[in-house]
Amino acid sequence: MDLILQLLFTGIGIGAVYALVALGFVLIFRATNVVNFAQGEFSMVAAYLMVVCVEFGLPYWLSFVIALAGMALLGVIFNLGVYYPLRHRTYLPVIIATIGASILLSNTVLAIYGPQPQVLQGWFDTPGIQLGPVYLDSQYLLIIGVTILLVLFNFWFFEKTLLGKKLQATSQDKEMASLLGISVSTMIMITFIYSAVLGGLAGILVAPVLFVSIQMGSTIALKAFAATIIGGFGDVAGAIVGGLALGVIETFGAAYISVPYKDGFAFLVLIAFLVFRPQGIFGERVAEKA
């Protein structure tokens, strides 16, 4: 039982990281109908920004604010430089542009900061707490807490605020939203900013656990992408549930079946969903028009 609880905690912790990155995928997909393959690199860039600020001697909270502000700026640049010029084309050029941007981002950081992985201290001085037989890593606790808060915030933001409703309208039907006087390009700009900040938040939160390296983003993004498909592409709740499910499944699979094939379980689940329920857990079946 102790073992199960420990595995469950870790599984949810790592799943929450996938969920945070997956959320960024979903928001951009809803607004623009394209998958942003640079979402993982957003996490990596934010973690490096944080390291730079902390090394510069700034307080942790201020570094955090600056890093997230930097991500918001990156969201603006990304929208203007990668999405906006290609917005009238089909989804394919945009997707390829995001892949190009992800390579550009990781190589830019490599060129500026070098290949050395960096250590970022966690938010708390205490590394964790022992709760009976289960050890709770303080950073994972923070990640889980932030994920819960974000779920609540997203619900409030998209369902209760005018801006959230405008964003939803834009993602559902751009032409209709435009006819109703909503500035579609502004809404898409806001989505990119929000997604970049979310990706950045995930990177900063996970950095003390996984260290800060050029590859950190791509490793998480691959799993987050799988989580998005499992949850149902385009569904906010689906991204969260998909991420958590993936984290728990791979942790238990590793413990009880095989550690070397840990990543295999995640992708087996992905394949099973693609075959038997391609719309994901929360997605609605979409019928092609004749």
Partner 1 sequence: MKLTRREFSAGLAAGLAAPALMRSAWAQGATIKIGMCVPVTGPAAEQGLWAQNGAKLALAAVNKAGGVLGKQVELVIEDDQTTNPGIVLAFSKLAAQSDIVAFLGSIRSTQVQAMAPDVIKVGKPVMIGGTNPDLTHSGNPWLFRFRPNDNYSGRVIADYGVSTLGKKKWAIVHSTDAFGTAGGKALTEALTKLGAPPVLDQGYANQSQDFTPVVLAVKQSGADVLGTYFTFENDLGIFARQLRQLGVNIPWVGSPSVVAVSSTKLAGPALFGTYGVADFAEDSSDVAKSFGKAYRDAYKTAPDNQSAWPYDAITILSAAINKAGSTDPTKIRESILATQKFAGAEGEYNFDKNGDGLHGYNVVKNDKGKIVYDKHIDFND
User: Which of 1, 57, 112, 115 contacts partner 1 by CB under 8 A?
Assistant: 115
Q: Is 263 in the site for partner 1 (CB under 8 A)?
A: yes
First to last CA, the chain: 54
Residues of span 198-237 touching partner 1 by CB under 8 A: 209-211, 213-215, 219-220
Q: How open is the CA angle 236-238-239, to the nearest 5 degrees?
A: 70
> From the CB of 8, what's the least distance to partner 1, in Å?
10
Instruction: Tell me how many residues contact partner 1 (CB under 8 A).
Output: 33
CA gap 93, 86 in Å, rounded? 7
> Residue 146 carries which DSSP code?
H
Based on the shown chain and the rule CB under 8 A, indicate whether residue 126 belongs to the binding site for partner 1: no
In the complex, the smallest distance separating the C-beta of residue 100 from partner 1, rounded to whole angstroms, is: 16
Q: Which of 22, 224, 251, 269 binds partner 1 (CB under 8 A)?
A: 251
Q: Is 102 a residue that touches partner 1 (CB under 8 A)? A: no
Q: What angle do CA 28, 88, 221 make, to 5 degrees?
A: 25
- Tallying the residues shown for the chain, one arrives at 290
Residue reference for tokens 């995001």: 98
136 pairs with which residues across the strands? 129
> Can you read off the two tokens belonging to residue 25?
């995928």
> Which residues bind to partner 1, rule: CB under 8 A?
3, 6-7, 10, 14, 17, 107, 110, 114-117, 119, 127-128, 135, 137, 209-211, 213-215, 219-220, 251, 254-255, 259-263
